[in-house]
Amino acid sequence: MESAPLLASPRRSPALKQEIKALATSSYVNYLLVFVPLGLAAGLLNWPAVYKFSLNFLAVIPLASLLGFATEELALYVGESIGGLLNATFGNAVELIVAVVALYQGQIAIVQASMLGSILSNMLLVLGCCFILGGMKYKVQNFSSSAALAMSSLMAVSCSCLLLPAAFHATIPPPNGVPDGSTGDLVVTMSRSTSVVMLILYVLFLLFQFKTHSDMFETETDETPEVPTLSSTVALTSLALVTVVVAVCADYLVGSIDDIVETTGMPKEFIGLILIPIVGNAAEHASAVMVAMKNKMNLAIGIAVGSSLQIALFMTPFTVVVGWMIGQNMTLFFSTYETAVMFVSVFITNYLIQDGESNWFEGALLIGTYIIIGLSFWLYP
């Protein structure tokens, strides 16, 4: 009798060729992988900024999809709790990589806009699409109001933490008799201190979600357990390789933004707030909409609102800490209009999900709000 292996995997690993095929065909957006070598060539050969930006913009979409698929496969090997943490962390890996690259290039305005834009796109665009497409198939869809209220409450707290530095800056008296720039130094200190507290709150939220109150966040699951397609080795290798390629494409993408703004006149805030979050969240958007159309609204809410929550409570303060480490004064200070937009978006989303029900008209309200915000930042001087 053969002895059982010490570390048994959920299934016997398929041939490497089959795994690569499964990875390549994991999503319909993978057809855009053809733009990856083109985007890399545009950066290496220093093509015009329009080509560098456009090609790498399109290249990041399938890379985000591959990153999400590899993460989901790896999560099947490590258990539900750690798997949930992996999905939450790597689900926003593209935005985090773009933000860190932009920080190293000193593009603090792009980092701030992309963080805010990711929050808005998940809360308004993704959730709105889920409500509309799910509502076209089902008249009313239900989800756990307890989990929705827990996430919406934490989202309100996160929003408040992001708004406080702006209020702090607005109420600081003029620097009478003190060196110029002291006001800015106070905002930097305030932002860094707030970021540390927010990161601690994020760790406590993970403990709440995955340990002490995990039953509140249970999602609809099929009776048949999901079987991984990739071996753990291939999943880890894919995760590492795709992350490196995303970092290179992000470097070329962010590096061409200034030239794009100069040559096309496109507002830099619009690029950071609308375009970059959409491309970074493309795979996540598709996943949320697909599960909503299957009437799995707990999972759809978890993807959309949970992703916004992670960006607000973890990624944004994390970029402040990274900026602190590399000597960039990244802050939580957003402009007055940006803070107003964030507050309105959180208020509308929390109001619509608190009853535990959704329909297509509520989705139209969310998307309408997102379109108005996008237009306003296109016109904003």
- Reported as a single tens digit per residue, the pLDDT across 344-372 is 898 898 888 888 888 999 999 999 999 99
Cα end-to-end span (Å), the chain: 76
Judged on CB neighbours under 10 Å (0-12, 13-18, 19+), 141 is buried
Coil, strand or helix at 313: helix
Could you say which DSSP state residue 124 is in? I
pLDDT tens digits, 58-97: 998 888 888 878 877 887 777 655 665 666 666 677 888 8
What average pLDDT does this structure show over 191-217? 84
326-344: per-residue pLDDT in tens?
A: 988 899 888 888 888 988 8
CB atoms within 10 A of CB 200: 11
Over 80: is that where the pLDDT of 175 sits? no
The pLDDT confidence band at residue 164, using thresholds 50, 70 and 90, is: confident
Structure confidence at residue 205 (pLDDT): 82
Q: Determine whether 157 is exposed, middle or buried from the number of CB atoms within 10 Å of its CB (0-12, 13-18, 19+).
A: middle
Residue 165 has pLDDT above 90, yes or no: no
Among residues 122, 112, 60, 109, the alpha carbon closest in space to that of 287 is found at 122
Residue 178, pLDDT above cutoff 50: no
Residue 106 has pLDDT above 50, yes or no: yes
How many CB atoms sit inside 10 A of residue 182's CB?
11
Least confident of 8-12, 199-203, 321-325: 8-12
For the chain, the residue count is: 381
Specify the amino acid at residue 97: I
Of 182-186, 279-283, 317-321, 354-358, which has the strongest mean pLDDT?
317-321
CATH architecture for the domain at 16-379:
Up-down Bundle (1.20)
In 3D, which of 63, 123, 108 has the Cα closest to residue 90? 63
The mean-pLDDT minimum among 38-42, 167-171, 189-193, 320-324 falls in: 167-171
Range scoring the smallest mean pLDDT among 21-35, 153-167, 202-216, 289-303: 202-216
Which pLDDT score, from 0 to 100, does residue 218 have?
A: 63
| Mean pLDDT of all residues in 234-252 | 88
Which band of pLDDT confidence, cut at 50, 70 and 90, is reported for residue 7?
A: very low
Percent of the chain scoring above 70 in pLDDT: 87
How far apart CA 174 and CA 260 sit, in angstroms, is 37
| pLDDT at residue 180 in the model | 46
Considering only the C-alpha atoms of the chain, give the largest distance between any 2 of them, rounded to a whole number of Å.
86
- SS3 call for 166: helix
Mean pLDDT of 251-273: 87
**Per-residue confidence band for 8, with pLDDT thresholds at 50, 70 and 90:** very low
Would the pLDDT of 134 be above 50?
A: yes
What is the percentage of the chain residues whose pLDDT exceeds 90?
Answer: 18
